[in-house]
């Protein structure tokens, strides 16, 4: 394309916006060249590692979780498009493939947690992190809400407690993750859970109401004849996110908290073995695409 045609297209673009093209063309003359460090905001990004101790490997712990949050947000970026837009099955397959790659990254990255920190240093500096906990990752919860009906995020014990026609608010009172911080005998909530709910619960409820009827699970049902490829990709995502990733997390927690038979408590105070193991929570995004046998053996690998 010639320079003249490019200029004409620029003029047309801003005229359609009701703007004066000359103003924007003059602005281009004064604009600085973009650099990698400015575009990626490298200086800002590398200034965000605020540790609480002088242990060298604590900064690894912080950066690992920041990378995790970025990857989770990449997943939210894909899920929002699937939920909010009407897309072809080909695009669905492409985006589910992306979700699978992102989840695979999360799984393999746990090597940083397991083998990338000094064992004794970690078990010392982690005490300064209470009551903070990975349990408090809101991005993780947003992904769950985008993917499936809230009913699928309530374990068997929770389903026995809810009414026959529960409100969204009642379902969140019985959602699986609350068991990590609620003593149902006393009704007391841990500080970890209280702080988490104070900051995010309203946004969770708002999102759940917004996507009701249009979660990934429900939109797939609207395909007249979903292909075997799409269903297989969805099963792969369910398996990676709700079985393999929790199991790797559990193995890493066991390495630091239980490898010497000490059974240390989680910083958030949860009963972490039952909370992390998929066979206890039985969390599935797409339960209807799994066979009875597969559901029966969920998390037993």
Does 23 map to a domain? no
- Measured CA to CA, the distance from residue 282 to residue 262 in angstroms comes to 27
What's the CATH code of the domain at 179?
Answer: 1.20.58
- What tokens were used for 207? 């999102």
pLDDT at 211: 98
Dihedral angle computed from the Cα positions of residues 104, 110, 112 and 113, in that order, rounded to the nearest 10 degrees? 160
- Measured CA to CA, the distance from residue 137 to residue 180 in angstroms comes to 13
Domain that holds residue 253: 58-296
- Measured CA to CA, the distance from residue 130 to residue 269 in angstroms comes to 9
Number of CB atoms found within 10 A of residue 16's CB: 8
User: What are the residues facing 183 on neighbouring strands?
Assistant: 188
> Helix, strand, or coil here: 189?
strand
Does 50 map to a domain? no
Does 68 map to a domain? yes
Dihedral angle computed from the Cα positions of residues 223, 104, 98 and 206, in that order, rounded to the nearest 10 degrees? 70
What is the DSSP secondary-structure string of 82-115? HHHS---HHHHHHHHHHHHHHHHHHHHHHHHHHH
- Measured CA to CA, the distance from residue 178 to residue 197 in angstroms comes to 10
Which residues fall within 8 angstroms of residue 95, CB to CB, at 6 or more apart?
Answer: 78, 81, 82, 87
pLDDT at 123: 86
* Chain position carrying tokens 């969770």: 204
Closest to 207 in 3D by CA, of 134, 283, 147, 285: 147
Closest to 89 in 3D by CA, of 238, 222, 286: 222
pLDDT at 156: 87
Does 127 map to a domain? yes
Does 271 map to a domain? yes
**Backbone phi, then psi, for 183, in 5-degree steps?**
-90, 105
∠ Cα 67 273 281 (to 5°): 85
The low-confidence residues of the chain, meaning pLDDT below 70, are 256-275, 301
As a whole-number percent, the residues of the chain with pLDDT over 90 amount to: 70
Does 120 map to a domain? yes
Number of domains in the chain: 1
Indicate the DSSP class of residue 157: H
Does 49 map to a domain? no
Does 8 map to a domain? no
- What tokens were used for 34? 């973009």
**Backbone phi, then psi, for 189, in 5-degree steps?**
-105, 145
- Measured CA to CA, the distance from residue 185 to residue 216 in angstroms comes to 35
Number of CB atoms found within 10 A of residue 124's CB: 13
Strand stretches in the chain, DSSP E: 182-183, 188-189
């Amino acid at each position: 394309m010639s320079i003249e045609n490019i200029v004409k297209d620029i003029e047309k673009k801003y005229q359609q916006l009701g703007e004066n093209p000359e103003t924007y063309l003059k602005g281009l003359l004064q604009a600085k060249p973009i650099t990698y460090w400015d575009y990626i905001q490298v200086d800002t990004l590398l200034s965000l590692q605020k540790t609480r101790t002088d242990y060298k490997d604590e900064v690894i712990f912080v950066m690992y979780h920041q990378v995790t949050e970025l990857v989770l947000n990449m997943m939210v970026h894909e899920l929002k498009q699937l939920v909010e837009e009407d897309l072809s099955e080909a695009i669905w397959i492409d985006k589910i493939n992306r979700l699978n790659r992102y989840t695979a990254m999360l799984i393999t990255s746990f090597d940083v947690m397991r083998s990338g920190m000094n064992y004794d240093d970690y078990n010392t500096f982690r005490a300064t992190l209470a009551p903070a906990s990975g349990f408090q990752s809101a991005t993780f919860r947003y992904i769950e809400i985008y993917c499936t009906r809230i009913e699928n995020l309530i374990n068997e014990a929770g389903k026995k407690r809810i009414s026959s026609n529960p409100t969204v608010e009642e379902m969140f009172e019985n959602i699986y993750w609350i068991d990590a911080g609620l003593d149902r005998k006393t009704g007391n909530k841990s500080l970890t859970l209280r702080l988490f709910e104070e900051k995010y619960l309203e946004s969770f409820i708002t999102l759940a109401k917004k996507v009701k009827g249009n979660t990934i699970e429900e939109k797939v049902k609207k395909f007249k004849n979903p292909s075997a490829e799409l269903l297989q990709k969805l099963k792969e995502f369910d398996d990676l996110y709700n079985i393999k990733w929790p199991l790797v997390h559990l193995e890493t927690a066991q390495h630091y908290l239980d490898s010497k038979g000490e059974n240390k408590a989680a910083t958030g105070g949860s009963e972490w073995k039952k909370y992390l193991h998929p066979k206890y929570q039985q969390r599935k995004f797409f339960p209807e695409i799994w066979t009875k046998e597969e559901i029966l053996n969920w998390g037993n690998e």
